[in-house]
């Protein structure tokens, strides 16, 4: 892997937060494997000091402040496999505490008016619920998603909950809601392509009438007789 490719791959790893653990862990593990560092996190080898520090630096530099505070301790800050275990325990274990944390975060999450970002975050939290084996039925989770939407979407919500082919399947419900985002974006894009008429430009029948009146006024002006040449 070239230096440019390595920097690009490393920069594609987001900072770990409460919403992105599934994607973060996949990207981080792939990067560590490419650098032959994953076996250190898995506790399969006793690493040299240089590789141990490289592994720690890679992981810790991709933690948000909240993730750092909740996973890094004096006991694991110099031990990659203990640090990784702490991260998994915090974000992916099926402990009662972790299930409660995920569910409370879900219940407290509110619709902010941006349907696109709302659906993206809901998708992340659905993955988290599956990851910690929360055990909440899909239709309950989806009803919670719909209940948070504003009045502007209530007609759509009514149609979705009456359709058993959609309401019991998270992917279908989210797909239906994303269609609204697409339709809205398409409509806005179409409106923006219409060029506004300048204020001083008259269009339509009135423009034609003005042109006719202008020509008529010109034809009504008396013609000036040609000037007679002066007699020498």
What is the residue whose two structure tokens read 């505490």? 97
What is the residue whose two structure tokens read 């040449």? 229
**Is pLDDT above 90 for 192?**
no
Give the whole-angstrom CA distance, residue 127 versus residue 138: 12
Q: What's the mean pLDDT in 196-205? A: 49
**pLDDT band at residue 203, thresholds of 50, 70 and 90?**
very low
CA count, 13 A, side-chain hemisphere, 207: 7
SS3 80: helix
**Is pLDDT above 80 for 73?**
yes
**pLDDT band at residue 39, thresholds of 50, 70 and 90?**
very high
Q: How do residues 126-185 score in pLDDT, each as one tens digit?
A: 988 888 888 888 888 888 999 999 998 898 889 888 888 888 888 888 888 888 777 876
Q: Which of 28-37, 99-108, 218-227 has the lowest mean pLDDT?
A: 218-227
Report CA-CA distances (Å) from 201 to 109, 196, 212.
50, 10, 16
Bridge partners for 16 per DSSP? 63
Give the whole-angstrom CA distance, residue 71 versus residue 88: 9
Q: What's the mean pLDDT in 201-228? A: 49
Residues 6+ apart with CB under 8 A from 144: 106, 107
Q: Report the chain's mean pLDDT, rounded to a whole number.
A: 81
Q: Which of 26-30, 118-122, 182-186, 210-214 has the lowest mean pLDDT?
A: 210-214
Whole-structure pTM value:
0.59
**pLDDT band at residue 98, thresholds of 50, 70 and 90?**
confident
Domain boundaries, the chain: 3-91, 96-191
Cβ–Cβ under 8 Å, residues 128 and 101: no
Give the whole-angstrom CA distance, residue 148 versus residue 110: 6
**pLDDT band at residue 34, thresholds of 50, 70 and 90?**
very high
Give the whole-angstrom CA distance, residue 58 versus residue 52: 10
Report CA-CA distances (Å) from 185 to 35, 91, 109, 173, 192.
42, 34, 24, 19, 11
| Cα-to-chain-centroid distance, residue 4 | 27
Task: Write down the pLDDT at residue 163.
Answer: 87
């Amino acid at each position: 892997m070239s230096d440019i490719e390595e920097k690009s791959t490393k920069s594609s790893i987001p900072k770990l937060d409460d919403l992105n653990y599934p994607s973060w862990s996949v990207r981080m593990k792939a990067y560590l494997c490419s650098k032959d560092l994953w076996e250190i996190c898995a506790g399969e080898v006793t690493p040299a000091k240089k590789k141990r520090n490289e592994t720690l630096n890679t992981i810790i530099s991709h933690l948000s402040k909240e993730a750092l505070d909740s996973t890094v301790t004096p006991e694991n800050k110099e031990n990659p496999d203990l640090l990784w275990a702490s991260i998994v325990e915090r974000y992916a274990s099926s402990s009662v505490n972790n299930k409660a944390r995920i569910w409370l975060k879900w219940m407290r999450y509110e619709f902010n008016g941006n349907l696109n970002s709302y659906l993206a975050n809901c998708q992340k939290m659905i993955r988290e619920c599956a990851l910690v084996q929360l055990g909440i039925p899909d239709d309950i989770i989806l009803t919670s998603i719909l209940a948070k939407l504003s009045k502007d979407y209530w007609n759509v919500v009514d149609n979705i909950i009456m359709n058993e082919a959609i309401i019991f399947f998270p992917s279908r419900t989210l797909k239906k809601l994303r269609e609204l985002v697409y339709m809205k974006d398409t409509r806005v894009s179409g409106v923006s392509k219409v060029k506004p008429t300048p204020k001083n430009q008259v269009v339509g029948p009135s423009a034609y009438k003005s042109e006719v009146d202008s020509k008529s006024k010109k034809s009504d002006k008396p013609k000036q007789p040609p000037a007679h040449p002066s007699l020498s």
